[in-house]
Chain A
Amino acid sequence: MKLGYFPGCSLESSAREYNESLQAVAPLLDLELCEVPDWNCCGATAAHSLNHKLALALPARTLALAERAGFDELLVPCSACYSRLAATRRDLLANEALRQEITSIIELDYVGSTKVVSVVDVLGRAAPTIRAKASVPFLRKVACYYGCYLTRPASLTTCARPEDPQEMEAIVASAGATPLDWAFKIDCCGAALSVSRTATVAELAGRIVADAAERGAEALVVACPLCHTNLDLRRPAIERHRGVSYALPVLYITQLVGLALGLSERALGLHRHHVPVRFAPGAAAPAAAPKEN
């Protein structure tokens, strides 16, 4: 299946491993990712809090380019990008005058035929394939963390239970993992304050890491580069803030699926993480299982 692909800025910088793991997993799930030519920043955070027109025009341009390239669906891995693109599509479809205004600004037409999908949407559909091809089942307890934008606002996303989502749980289960019932899966990690107010992030992200660890999770699973930054890169701040150290790696859901499909750590970019991806010996085959096979 052919999908339009909009990596967004993070996946080219701080979240390279998200891009790498997604690109590595895709062909195994019969997904062909076609990057939208000449895409631009979605405008999350800065634009959408300052200039309404710009906040619509930036995502609209990418959407229009995807539509021109003939994609039915556009895969947007970053939750913030996903939210901006989906919101723009909804707003333009609901208001013809606005659609005309924005399309004249970007000098490209957009009629809304291209839909926006997240990694969770796509992997959710591929769950039977994952289950069938999981040569190295990821036999560990994990806490799936959704953050804010993946499930909310409920009117924008495809999530059936925005207050208690189950979609990521279904995916990790298909890869062999045991998802835990825990308390913070849709709490905010403080992403927007990651740079400006690290103390707040330490508190918010700290609670998430703490609850997952206390409930016996062996990994946190995320599907958003910003969440990953706060839970992984900001771990020293969290540990300082709480006075506890946590050996709890944070995996992108694509990495977890990749491991189950037998891909190597390097191919999935695990070496790029700040918190080392190491698991206690247990029921699961070690992450480096392919070498042994």
Chain B
Amino acid sequence: MPRIGVFICHCGENIGATVDAAAVAKAAGELPGVVHAVDYKYMCSDPGQNLIKEAIREKKLTGVVVGACSPRMHEPTFRRACAEAGLNAFLCEMANLREHCSWVHEKLPETTEKAIDLVRVMVEKVKRNRPLFPINVPITKTALVLGGGIAGIQAALDIANAGHPVVLVEREASIGGHMAQLSETFPTLDCSQCILTPRMVEVAQHPNIRLYTYSELESLEGFIGNFKAVIRKKARGIDEATCTGCGACIQKCPTKKIPSEFNAHLGHRTAIYVPFPQAVPNKPVIDRAHCTYYRTGKCKLCERVCPTKALRYDQEDLLVEVAVGAVVVATGYEVKGTDFFPEYGYGRYKDVITGLQFERLASASGPTLGAIRRPSDGQVPETVVFIACAGSRDPAKGLHYCSKICCMYTAKHAMLYKHKVHHGRPYVFYMDIRAGGKMYEEFVRRAIEEDQVSYIRGRVSRIYEKNGKLIVKGVDTLLNSRPVEIAADLVVLATAMVPQPDAEALAQKMKISYDGDRFLNEAHPKLRPVEMNTAGIFVAGACQAPKDIPETVAQASGAASKVIGLFSKDELSREPVVAVVNRTAPPLFSTCVGCFLCETACPYQAIEREEIKDRNGNVLKTVARVNQGVCQGCGTCVALCRSKSIDLQGFTNEQVFAELVAL
């Protein structure tokens, strides 16, 4: 027989003034199974908790109901008290007599009656509670970081510096990401490569970081603490261990006119190449689509000049399996190309370029060695028009959001241009100036006031070529909405930031969610900004939403600290409020019939398939199994299961049913 103890709290006057606590305790004492019922001024106080502990010991209680405030307030307090007295914490329940009763009703007999009902319901529930124990899941203390831009670099270094192994996977031949392409960074105008490359080197030399460049995630399985990732190491065509990075092959490569991705197609590269001189690792890859040998079967000039004989033309992609406990997704962004804008020439005009291309023009390591020269004829442009919000905040273009960094980098571009071409005339067309950030507004003011950049508030409707000039037709909405026409030599579009083209495929591969714009969805927009909904997967940088470098780095460190926190324990301890699929004696094994309709209802993909086999290994039955490391305990599967084969610990069918019957 159950031996339930009921403890009614007055909460000073909070409950006592409206509810007759003594009457509630008395009524509770008469309920079947209740062997102890008292009321007390403050149950949560030390003396109050001691009342519970003593009763548990003396009356050998098998369950406790505390009628007090909301369980959302003090359930942990009373459960801890019970545990200290030797009663399993999950044999303690609370009846909410304060928030749901005394505070919301008048002092009337009905209010005390309701309080008695609430206690009776919980007594019936607690009679059916079972001892539950925290679920322990072992943790593989290795992190996988996807993406070797500044977000991935920061996250990898933070985790590695905390002493945990990191596997860093980068799709391109070098880490560095977009930040390596930038000329100078706002609002300080320090050189991007100067601050980034030391970090890249640190990654390469870090004993805890295993770096896979020119590699991609092939698959990810498992759950928090226990993921299995397969990485596709694409064939570089060279043996990295042998190659010294001397660059002789690159010098001799006869195919030299391939548009350079690193230079945003403004410069050229060879077929065997490193993306840029400071690449990490400084080992070339062969671009098989352009290489003469792969296309015609003849050449191999690079092999002839290689002093270490490192060329491996028949190298194949390699699949590497790694066990990791956490994943940081930092796959970054790309910008829309000029071909996205029919009204701005549909990519036809060579001198209409993107902001990223301007970065390469302004960069000392770029195709013009930092001189601002227009792509069509190499002339120094006298008039440059910068157009902010190219695509962003434009529902007609399908992009509703603000790309966030364009206001700042457009100001920076105009400033850099003015610094390099003193007599030049920079114009900026803008919708609003969004310069929220430390020293950001000051930076924009500097562009306008010191560098005399002409800011025109209005949109540009069309760009067309006439007499060697690009005619930029827009409107100045602050000047009585007068149409404006500027004959420019170069036009720079601050094109919208969008997720990587395969962001959706990657998210599906990892079973993480993404929004309508294909940016990854964090678990909570405010309170869980670096976690994904799938436990153990974290996010950093612009793959989640447009953001600038400081924000990206902050989020990367945030994600890293979440990983480090996770790795601070050997086992993951989780609340045992999870779903379980029942098991019964053979030949049934479980009442589950394996229809797996619950599979897609689970928001966490926690439902697995378990094959029940006989001793010869023949499959007798396939039934559902809930992965307790993944299940978050919502119970959607429980309500869906027709045969009632899944139940939710802590909120079992039996418990909830008993609550209803007690009403």
Cα distance, A181 to B466, chains bound together (Å): 11
Which residues of chain B (379-401) have a CB below 8 Å from chain A? 396
Chain B residues with Cβ under 8 A from A30's Cβ? none
Would A163 and B466 be within 8 Å (CB), given that A154-B396, A183-B471 are in contact? Answer: no
A182 at the interface (CB under 8 A from B): yes
Would A164 and B471 be within 8 Å (CB), given that A154-B396, A183-B462 are in contact? Answer: no
Give min CB distance, A151 to chain B, whole Å.
11
Asked whether, in the complex, the Cβ of B396 is within 8 Å of the Cβ of A164, the reply is: no
Chain A residues with Cβ under 8 A from B471's Cβ? 183
Cα distance, A187 to B475, chains bound together (Å): 14
Chain A residues with Cβ under 8 A from B348's Cβ? 181
A161 at the interface (CB under 8 A from B): yes
Name the residue on B nearest A154 (C-beta).
Answer: B396
Asked whether, in the complex, the Cβ of B342 is within 8 Å of the Cβ of A161, the reply is: yes
Cα distance, A53 to B609, chains bound together (Å): 62
Chain B residues with Cβ under 8 A from A182's Cβ? 464
Asked whether, in the complex, the Cβ of A183 is within 8 Å of the Cβ of B342, the reply is: no
Name the residue on A nearest B463 (C-beta).
Answer: A183
Chain A residues with Cβ under 8 A from B341's Cβ? 163
Chain B residues with Cβ under 8 A from A164's Cβ? 342-343, 346
**Partner among A154, A161, A183 whose Cβ is within 8 Å of the Cβ of B466:** A183
Chain A residues with Cβ under 8 A from B466's Cβ? 183, 211, 214
Give min CB distance, A132 to chain B, whole Å.
30
**CB 8 Å contact bits of A152-194 with B (1 = contact, 0 = none):** 0010000001011000000000000000011100010000000
Q: Which of A154, A164, A182 has its CB near the most chain B CB atoms (within 10 A)?
A: A164
Name the residue on B nearest A187 (C-beta).
Answer: B462
**CB 8 Å contact bits of A204-229 with B (1 = contact, 0 = none):** 00000001001000000000000000
Asked whether, in the complex, the Cβ of B342 is within 8 Å of the Cβ of A163, the reply is: yes
Asked whether, in the complex, the Cβ of A163 is within 8 Å of the Cβ of B464, the reply is: no
Cα distance, A183 to B472, chains bound together (Å): 11
**CB 8 Å contact bits of B450-492 with A (1 = contact, 0 = none):** 0000000000001010100001000000000000000000000
> Number of A residues whose C-beta is below 8 Å from B?
10
Cα distance, A181 to B345, chains bound together (Å): 10
Cα distance, A222 to B396, chains bound together (Å): 26
Name the residue on A nearest B464 (C-beta).
Answer: A183
Cα distance, A183 to B471, chains bound together (Å): 9
Name the residue on B nearest A166 (C-beta).
Answer: B342
Give min CB distance, A216 to chain B, whole Å.
13
Q: Which of B342, B348, B466 has its CB near the most chain A CB atoms (within 10 A)?
A: B342
**CB 8 Å contact bits of A134-146 with B (1 = contact, 0 = none):** 0000000000000
**CB 8 Å contact bits of B265-298 with A (1 = contact, 0 = none):** 0000000000000000000000000000000000
Cα distance, A183 to B343, chains bound together (Å): 10
> Number of B residues whose C-beta is below 8 Å from A?
10
**CB 8 Å contact bits of A44-56 with B (1 = contact, 0 = none):** 0000000000000
Cα distance, A164 to B345, chains bound together (Å): 8
Q: Which of B341, B346, B462 has its CB near the most chain A CB atoms (within 10 A)?
A: B462
**CB 8 Å contact bits of B328-345 with A (1 = contact, 0 = none):** 000000000000011100
Cα distance, A182 to B471, chains bound together (Å): 12
Cα distance, A59 to B396, chains bound together (Å): 27
Name the residue on A nearest B345 (C-beta).
Answer: A164
Cα distance, A183 to B485, chains bound together (Å): 13
Which residues of chain B (189-246) have a CB below 8 Å from chain A? none
Cα distance, A181 to B471, chains bound together (Å): 14
Give min CB distance, B1 to chain A, whole Å.
65
Chain A residues with Cβ under 8 A from B396's Cβ? 154
Cα distance, A62 to B464, chains bound together (Å): 40
Name the residue on B nearest A182 (C-beta).
Answer: B464
Chain A residues with Cβ under 8 A from B342's Cβ? 161, 163-164
Which residues of chain B (148-181) have a CB below 8 Å from chain A? none
Chain A residues with Cβ under 8 A from B462's Cβ? 163, 183, 187
**Partner among A163, A211, A214 whose Cβ is within 8 Å of the Cβ of B343:** A163
Give min CB distance, A211 to chain B, whole Å.
8
Cα distance, A183 to B348, chains bound together (Å): 13
Give min CB distance, A95 to chain B, whole Å.
21
Chain B residues with Cβ under 8 A from A187's Cβ? 462
Chain B residues with Cβ under 8 A from A211's Cβ? 466
Give min CB distance, A150 to chain B, whole Å.
15
**CB 8 Å contact bits of B428-467 with A (1 = contact, 0 = none):** 0000000000000000000000000000000000101010
Give min CB distance, B603 to chain A, whole Å.
34
Chain B residues with Cβ under 8 A from A161's Cβ? 342
Cα distance, A10 to B462, chains bound together (Å): 31
Chain B residues with Cβ under 8 A from A163's Cβ? 341-343, 462
Cα distance, A93 to B343, chains bound together (Å): 31
Chain A residues with Cβ under 8 A from B464's Cβ? 182-183
**CB 8 Å contact bits of B571-590 with A (1 = contact, 0 = none):** 00000000000000000000
Cα distance, A133 to B462, chains bound together (Å): 36
Give min CB distance, B349 to chain A, whole Å.
11
Chain B residues with Cβ under 8 A from A154's Cβ? 396
Name the residue on B nearest A211 (C-beta).
Answer: B466
Cα distance, A182 to B466, chains bound together (Å): 9
Cα distance, A183 to B467, chains bound together (Å): 12
Chain B residues with Cβ under 8 A from A181's Cβ? 348
Cα distance, A187 to B461, chains bound together (Å): 10
Cα distance, A13 to B462, chains bound together (Å): 34
Cα distance, A211 to B341, chains bound together (Å): 22
Give min CB distance, B385 to chain A, whole Å.
16
Cα distance, A141 to B466, chains bound together (Å): 18
Name the residue on A nearest B396 (C-beta).
Answer: A154
Give min CB distance, B469 to chain A, whole Å.
12
Cα distance, A92 to B346, chains bound together (Å): 35
Chain B residues with Cβ under 8 A from A214's Cβ? 466
Give min CB distance, A163 to chain B, whole Å.
4
Give min CB distance, A180 to chain B, whole Å.
12
Cα distance, A10 to B471, chains bound together (Å): 35
Give min CB distance, A243 to chain B, whole Å.
19
Cα distance, A154 to B462, chains bound together (Å): 16
Chain A residues with Cβ under 8 A from B346's Cβ? 164
Give min CB distance, A193 to chain B, whole Å.
15
Which residues of chain B (294-342) have a CB below 8 Å from chain A? 341-342
Give min CB distance, B495 to chain A, whole Å.
15
Q: Which of A154, A182, A183 has its CB near the most chain B CB atoms (within 10 A)?
A: A183
Give min CB distance, A148 to chain B, whole Å.
12
Give min CB distance, B347 to chain A, whole Å.
11
Cα distance, A188 to B346, chains bound together (Å): 21
Name the residue on B nearest A215 (C-beta).
Answer: B466
Name the residue on A nearest B397 (C-beta).
Answer: A163
Cα distance, A181 to B221, chains bound together (Å): 53
Name the residue on A nearest B341 (C-beta).
Answer: A163
Cα distance, A187 to B466, chains bound together (Å): 16
Give min CB distance, A92 to chain B, whole Å.
23
Cα distance, A182 to B343, chains bound together (Å): 12
Cα distance, A229 to B258, chains bound together (Å): 52
Cα distance, A33 to B475, chains bound together (Å): 43
18 A–B contacts, CB within 8 A, in A order: A154-B396, A161-B342, A163-B341, A163-B342, A163-B343, A163-B462, A164-B342, A164-B343, A164-B346, A181-B348, A182-B464, A183-B462, A183-B464, A183-B466, A183-B471, A187-B462, A211-B466, A214-B466
Kindly list the 9 A-B residue pairs having the minimum CB-CB distance in the complex, ordered from nearest. A164-B342, A183-B464, A163-B343, A163-B342, A161-B342, A164-B346, A154-B396, A164-B343, A183-B466
In the complex, given contacts A163-B341, A163-B342, A214-B466, what are 15 additional A-B residue pairs having Cβ atoms less than 8 angstroms apart?
Answer: A154-B396, A161-B342, A163-B343, A163-B462, A164-B342, A164-B343, A164-B346, A181-B348, A182-B464, A183-B462, A183-B464, A183-B466, A183-B471, A187-B462, A211-B466
